[in-house]
Amino acid sequence: MASKPSLSFYTNIPTPYQLSFFNELSKLFDLTVIYYSNTENNREWKFDLNVEYRTVVLNNNFIAKIIQKKVIDFHFSWQIFKLAWNDKSDYFIIGGSYWIPNAAIALTFNKIKRKKIAYFSEPLFEVRNKVKYAIKWLLLRILQFNCNAIFCVSKQAAVSFENFGVKLPKFIIPYNIDSKLFLQLNSIKLEEFKSKYKSANEKIILSSGSLIERKGMDVLINAVKEIDDPDLRLIIIGGGPDEQKLKDLCADDHRIIFAGFQSPDHIPCFFGIADIFAFASRYDGWAVVINEAIAANVPIISSNAVGAAKELITHPDLGLLCKSGDVQEFKNAMVSLLSNENKRIDIKKHSQKLVPLISSDYNANYVYDIFTRLLA
């Protein structure tokens, strides 16, 4: 049997949304994952990195620690120079902001070694100021010069690179998950969740995300407060600095439940008891929670400012999109789905065709095909 080609994947920190992707990539490549740090200031995730593939965790130097007080995802390690230069992999995927030292050094060193390199990215932020546009355009030449391709999490991301004159081949590789986790639920654990959150005939609207202004939990809370249905429950998964403010917004509406930060192994059971998944983020480049709802076969109501929703929910048969920040639209969408079981069943049926697109095994095989055939 022929040996597997080698791949190094450079990325900011371990996240629950990468682990299944890395597991699938390791089945096809001799994989090494290089993390720029073990965590960032706004993250609560903690992981055991005892995995089947090699991992390296770098340490930020004093320069990075100073800058991180203003820019959380700025990473610079003295180790990056030796590590990137000595990296013998056949193929490279580089993540993290293209202008931070770790990414720029990894890109440049492996270009010198004439390796196949793809940059992995969410959409670039728009810049209207001409001077700032020119600076960003110049910085993006780092990618134009060093990379063979851009792996974009969405079509919107691909367009954003085109708008800054990056003419490299672009492939859509969305953030992805192990979709099987949302179908193969532990029946005993699921019953425990039902007894705690859905003991009678409650209709559950689930949302998941950090409790910060950008995630729009206030929009969902205000929408639910306007719905006169004693059997309705809004369960919010997540923690964050706005928790008390959001609880105050609920006032005495006991239908709204804050479940707090949850470990990844609990998330599928929350989806398992949900009738609807609602996500009112004011902006998300992708949002893996949309993947999770699709995998769990739960009808989706989402803001139109969410990359995954715009990319995947292209017809009302696949879910409902609402204007970002519009409480009335979210209320109407909730009432529409809550009162129409046939509509929910129809959405669940049609959205199943989206499952392969958000699954790690599908996307890992696509990456293998890109490197070994399309970029060969």
Q: What is the pLDDT of residues 249-278, one digit of tens each?
A: 998 899 999 999 998 889 999 999 999 999
C-beta separation of 305 from 154 below 8 A? no
pLDDT of 217 over the 90 cut: yes
Percent of the chain with pLDDT over 90: 82
Give, in words, the CATH class of 179-356. alpha beta
Q: What is the pLDDT of residues 354-369, one digit of tens each?
A: 999 999 999 999 999 9
Q: Is 353 exposed, middle or buried (0-12, 13-18, 19+ CB in 10 A)?
A: exposed
Averaged pLDDT for residues 339-343: 95
Q: What is the pLDDT of residues 127-161, one digit of tens each?
A: 989 999 999 999 999 999 999 999 999 999 999 99
User: What band does 46 get if pLDDT is binned at 50, 70 and 90?
Assistant: low
Q: How far apart are CA 25 and CA 56, in angstroms?
A: 16
pLDDT recorded at residue 44: 59
Structure tokens that stand for 129 in this block: 């100021």
Total number of residues shown for the chain:
376
Extended strands (E) in the chain: 6-11, 30-35, 54-57, 91-94, 116-121, 149-152, 170-172, 203-208, 232-237, 256-260, 276-279, 300-303, 320-322
pLDDT recorded at residue 86: 97
What is the domain partition of the chain in residue ranges? 6-176+359-374, 179-356
pLDDT recorded at residue 1: 47
Domain topology for 6-176+359-374: Rossmann fold (3.40.50)
N-to-C CA span, the chain: 21
The domains spanning 6-176+359-374 and 179-356 adopt the same CATH topology? yes
Has this prediction a pTM greater than 0.95?
no
pLDDT recorded at residue 376: 82
